[in-house]
A and B are shown apart, each in its own frame.
Chain A
Amino acid sequence: MPLTEQTRAAAREIIARYPEGRSRSALLPMLHLVQSEQGAVTAEGVEFCAEELGITHAEVSAVATFYTMYKRRPVGDWLVSVCTNLSCLLRGGEEVYERLSKNLGVGHDQTTEDGTITLEHAECLAACDYAPVMTVNYEFYDQVNPDSAEEIVEALRRGERPAPTRGGPLCTFGESSFQLAGFEDPRPEGVAGQGVGTPSLAGVLLAEAAGWKAEDGVAGAPPLTPLPSNAPPSAASAPAAPASSSPASSSAAAPASPAPAPGTPGVPQTKVN
């Protein structure tokens, strides 16, 4: 698909986010943008970025080849990334990767013949407490095993969109890349998709169950309660200087409030967010 005037308009929007004379900062998002149109950073995409930013092809290519998320060959409809770094390895991530690789008949960074799936093994995806994890176009499938991973991938190949454990409902690679270029996800269900699950909340749920609070056992410390919502910013209500932040002055800064503290039983809670 050739880049259009619309792409150009989006590029200008990206450039406008950065200070005057610093348009080169727009290069990474612009590479996501051209990739969103073409499924890879093509020669045309490089040309486009160079022209818009007034830098050379070589400068753009040097950047495009440095980062793993920019692809030189078009990815399939679905980019399946399996984490095989340590925490996932300890929980079977390698077996997941091997099963998919065997079933799909492709190795790392390769695409199935029907063009549906590109497989890659990924480094730590900052979700080690959900290990082993796999992502599809960067949405998370948690605690997978070879069988469940296989089912997810088979569903993708049948044209379905299996719901991720966390993240928004699946979008196409182009849509994901467009969001990476810094544009909001137009779908309300995108931002509302689950962000955290029980592992992220493990400590806080434990504390809530046990009634532990940060202020427990702290002599003179003010309780962490909601503050009056319209406290005017006045010098009097703020600790004048750190040195004078004695228990007395800090409790003045956080007056006891009748509202229940978050985390107390009165506040309805969920285990995902």
Chain B
Amino acid sequence: MPVTPVLTRRWTAPESWTLATYERLDGYQGLRRALAQSPDDLIKLVKDSGLRGRGGAGFPTGMKWGFIPQGDGKPHYLVINADEGEPGTCKDAPLMKADPHSLIEGIVIAAYAVRANRAFIYLRGELIHAGRRLRAAVAEAYRAGYLGRDILGSGFDLDLVVHSGAGAYICGEETALLDSLEGRRGQPRLRPPFPATHGLYASPTVVNNVETIATVPFIVNYGVDWFRSMGRERAPGPKIYSLSGHVTHPGQYEAPMGTTLRELLDMAGGVLGGRKLKAWTPGGSSTPLLTADHLDVPLDFEGVQEAGSLLGTAALMIMDDSVDMLKIVRRLTQFYAHESCGKCTPCREGTTWMVQILSRMERGQGDPDDVDTLVDACDNIFGRAFCALADGATSPIVSGIKFFRNEFLPITPVGPSGSTTSVAGSANGAAAGGAAAGTPGAYAGAH
């Protein structure tokens, strides 16, 4: 099966962001069905569907909902993570602009299931136009009785607020997001306790990604078997893959979980200018780079993990054989140094120092120990910091060196390298199949 527009299917409809269009195209039918069921049945439905979080970690959504204590007398909250900031990721923003009601419908269903009467969309500040469309859609939904008191006569009440952030990548981390939503600096919290019991205002809270929640109405409408007919056993359903960088037609391609880069590149017209693929990220800049050797890796959570990386947000940034890996790794490391929240030393100091080392190398002033120093620093950062931002910061460096070590050595002139690179890979016996650009399987982007 090639592309399977489910979440994206309404995006081409005229004035797709309005309630009128949404209602004409199945809109709020899932909500009607959901309100006719018990919350527990809905949680079971989502569990059985096998839906896993689309925000990066792939946590089973139904299980997350099931962790919310019931009958505890505390208010429950649903918080939507709309802070989309992982470099390469550009799927939630168009979803909220083209089809904001699908998110709102999913929110009402999810809130009903976890018995939350208040929900928040934590929207990345810079996405001002998504904010316009969302706020207009929320107002429409209130007027039509899909939000507010006694929704569709069910007795269920829900208030929804769109809350704009103010520019901080770390606020995408769910506990930092909650602190930010409470009016504090967005710094991650110690866990446990988890948000399921001590989330927003120390109350039980579900935090879910935009795409995750927008998927829910489809599951309610069309059922578990339909949902599981797409994707893979352990990761069913459709997924929006974001292709960018050196690709002929960058864009959003919704396809079953487990679609490969080869298939996606075919749809997107191949590598830009018919050049060779050198490297790519499977799930944003925080996921280790892969190479042309990995064109046939099934892009689902386990598939990518087996190939030594992570599915993350399924943000595929494509780099052709003209790129300077050192420069790319330096730029990404600058991103992490800028976005580190500063709470813990390995992340705050480590990223800053690594930028300095990489910049020095880029100027041709590196010394022979620099590569080892970087690998050693990453070793000391990975798993030793408070949140996953620091782990992500090590990804470009460690994987860049693993596959393209020669480009980091002072003896090699810095710059594009086709054949040198593959020599580097085999010479260093790099793990996971060695380096890749220039190997016979390299994808030339025929289309």
Residues on A close to B: CB < 8 A? 17-19, 22, 24-29, 31-32, 53, 62-63, 66-70, 81, 84-87, 89-91, 122-131, 135, 138-140, 166-168, 176, 179-182, 184-185, 190-191, 193, 195-196, 198-208, 210, 212-222, 224-227, 229, 231-235, 237-243, 245-247, 249-250, 253-254, 262-263, 267-271, 273
Contact = CB atoms under 8 A, between A and B. Distances in A.
A69 B6 CA distance: 34
Given A233-B36, A273-B13, 9 more contacts: A124-B86, A124-B89, A182-B163, A193-B129, A201-B12, A202-B251, A203-B3, A204-B9, A224-B222
A85 B87 contact: yes
A62 B92 CA distance: 29
The 10 closest A-B pairs by CB, nearest first: A202-B251, A195-B97, A250-B223, A27-B183, A67-B166, A203-B253, A68-B167, A128-B244, A69-B167, A24-B183
12 contacts: A28-B180, A28-B183, A89-B328, A123-B338, A176-B128, A180-B164, A195-B97, A195-B133, A210-B2, A237-B33, A243-B48, A269-B12
Contacts of A233: 32-33, 35-36, 152, 154
A229 B23 contact: yes
Given A191-B132, A191-B136, A233-B33, A270 B166 contact: no
Contacts of B339: 123
A186 to B, nearest CB: 11
Contact of A128 (B12, B89, B221): B89
Given A85-B87, A129-B252, A199-B249, A235 B165 contact: no
Contacts of B32: 231-233
Helix, strand, loop or mixed for chain A's interface?
loop
Contact of B223 (A127, A198, A231, A245): A245
Contact of B317 (A26, A86, A235, A273): A86
Given A126-B90, A202-B268, A216-B1, A90 B245 contact: yes
Contacts of A135: 126
B189 interface: no
Contact of B3 (A67, A68, A212, A247): A212
B214 to A, nearest CB: 14
B363 interface: no
B65 interface: no
A131 B139 CA distance: 32
Interface string B65-76: 000000000010
A55 B113 CA distance: 35
B443 to A, nearest CB: 17
Contacts of A27: 183
Between B24, B87, B226, B238, the greatest number of chain A beta carbons within 10 A of the residue's beta carbon is seen for B226
Contacts of A231: 29, 32-33
Contacts of B56: none
B226 A85 contact: no
Nearest to A232: B32
Nearest to A185: B132
A22 B85 contact: no
Given A86-B328, A167-B129, A200 B98 contact: yes
A212 B318 CA distance: 25
B389 interface: no
B29 A202 contact: no
B66 to A, nearest CB: 13
A69 B222 contact: no
B254 A196 contact: no
Contact of B250 (A129, A180, A270): A129
B357 interface: no
Between B41, B48, B184, B254, the greatest number of chain A beta carbons within 10 A of the residue's beta carbon is seen for B184
Interface string B316-327: 011100010000
A95 to B, nearest CB: 13
B11 A201 contact: yes
B382 interface: no
B315 to A, nearest CB: 7
Interface string B250-293: 11111100000000000110000000000001000100000000
B37 A126 contact: no
Contacts of A89: 328, 331
Nearest to A205: B12
Interface string B167-188: 1110000000000111111100
Given A91-B245, A200-B98, A238 B33 contact: yes
Contacts of B252: 129, 199-204
B4 interface: yes
B26 A66 contact: no
B271 to A, nearest CB: 11
Contact of B181 (A25, A126, A200): A25
B118 A19 contact: yes
